[in-house]
């Protein structure tokens, strides 16, 4: 779920310039055009389908297929959130994870433990099943979370190369299923990963003055879905070129404040 860490924020799925949330590489069919050029990020509570947003980023397990279908019938693009870098002991598939791949607990997130992403072959079947479920429920894209374990205290000796290989595998899993995929966090590897990823999801880059790190996505014509939690709208709106920016409560409930549309 949404998360905040220092010095880099971590939480957040696709409004690509090739069509609202379509895989720029051509792996996924273009999503229908939506009426509002903004996004909604809701991971807690029943999804409020009345929110006027072009893209919805919602939980893979907690969101019924019917809700996905209802949103798509309204022309919305729908992204599934899943945790790709840490285990969550309340998820129905938790028992499928080999115990030797579980590392240290995540700070401030009870029930979550880092995964040993240096062993992608061991994790691939587990992840593939999640990506399959995302596709089966009718989602257009996927937001894998916690894809910067190498920069955290995980209990494993993870390297930057381990993370690059793992994140590239995640992009491949998405594209193999016709899904778009967003890069969550991992700002230090943006230049290496902008190619295989279709969009970026970022938390609090305005607060931490990190938004320039996402410029490669903008320059490539790929959107940045950006959320702030504590700053006033006036502190980050209007957003940088290529950004879709909103303000949310940290619990990522239904309430959302998008940057006002430019006058003119």
Residue at 181 is within a domain: yes
Residue at 11 is within a domain: no
pLDDT digits (tens, 9 = 90+) for 24-36: 444 443 333 333 5
Residue at 253 is within a domain: no
Averaged over 16-20, what is the pLDDT? Answer: 38
Residue at 148 is within a domain: yes
- Predicted confidence (pLDDT) at residue 10 exceeds the cutoff of 60: no
Averaged pLDDT score across all residues of the chain? 88
Percent of the chain's residues with pLDDT above 70: 85
Percent of the chain's residues with pLDDT above 90: 83
pLDDT digits (tens, 9 = 90+) for 161-210: 999 999 999 999 999 999 999 999 899 999 999 999 999 999 999 999 99
What pLDDT, on the 0 to 100 scale, is given for residue 35? 37
pLDDT digits (tens, 9 = 90+) for 89-129: 999 999 999 999 999 999 989 999 999 999 999 999 999 99
pLDDT digits (tens, 9 = 90+) for 68-93: 999 999 999 999 999 999 999 999 99
What's the pTM?
Answer: 0.88
Task: Specify which residues 174 forms β-bridges with.
Answer: none
- Predicted confidence (pLDDT) at residue 239 exceeds the cutoff of 70: yes
Residue at 29 is within a domain: no
What pLDDT, on the 0 to 100 scale, is given for residue 37? 74
What pLDDT, on the 0 to 100 scale, is given for residue 262? 67
Averaged over 147-172, what is the pLDDT? Answer: 98
Residue at 122 is within a domain: yes
**Where does the pLDDT of residue 215 fall: very low under 50, low under 70, confident under 90, or very high at 90 and above?**
very high
Residue at 170 is within a domain: yes
Residue at 101 is within a domain: yes
The total of structural domains in the chain comes to 1
- Predicted confidence (pLDDT) at residue 23 exceeds the cutoff of 70: no
Kindly report the CATH number assigned to the domain that includes residue 140. Answer: 3.20.20.70
Among 32-36, 64-68, 237-241, 244-248, the least confident range: 32-36
Residue range(s) defining the domain that contains residue 46: 39-197
Give the phi and the psi of residue 120 in degrees, each rounded to 5. Answer: -60, -35
Task: Specify which residues 182 forms β-bridges with.
Answer: 199
């Amino acid at each position: 779920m949404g998360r905040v860490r220092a010095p880099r924020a971590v939480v957040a799925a696709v409004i690509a310039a090739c069509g609202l949330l379509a895989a720029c590489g051509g792996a996924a069919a273009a999503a229908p055009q939506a009426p509002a050029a903004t996004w909604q990020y809701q991971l807690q509570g029943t999804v409020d389908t009345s929110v006027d947003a072009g893209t919805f980023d919602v939980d893979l397990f907690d969101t019924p297929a019917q809700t996905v279908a209802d949103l798509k019938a309204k022309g919305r693009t729908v992204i599934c959130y899943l945790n790709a870098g840490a285990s969550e002991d309340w998820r129905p598939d938790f028992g499928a994870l080999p115990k030797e791949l579980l590392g240290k607990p995540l700070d401030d997130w009870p029930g979550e433990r880092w995964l040993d992403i240096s062993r992608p072959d061991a994790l691939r079947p587990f992840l593939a099943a999640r990506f399959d479920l995302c596709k089966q429920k009718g989602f257009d894209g996927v937001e894998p979370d916690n894809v910067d374990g190498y920069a955290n205290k995980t209990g494993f000796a993870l390297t930057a190369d381990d993370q690059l290989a793992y994140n590239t595998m995640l992009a491949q899993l998405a594209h193999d299923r016709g899904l778009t995929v967003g890069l969550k966090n991992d700002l230090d590897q943006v230049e290496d990963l902008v190619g295989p990823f279709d969009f970026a999801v970022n938390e609090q880059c305005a607060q931490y003055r990190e938004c320039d790190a996402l410029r490669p996505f903008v320059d490539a014509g790929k959107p940045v879905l950006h959320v702030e939690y504590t700053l006033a709208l006036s502190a980050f709106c209007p957003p940088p070129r290529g950004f879709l920016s909103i303000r949310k409560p940290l619990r990522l409930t239904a309430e959302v404040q998008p940057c006002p549309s430019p006058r003119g």
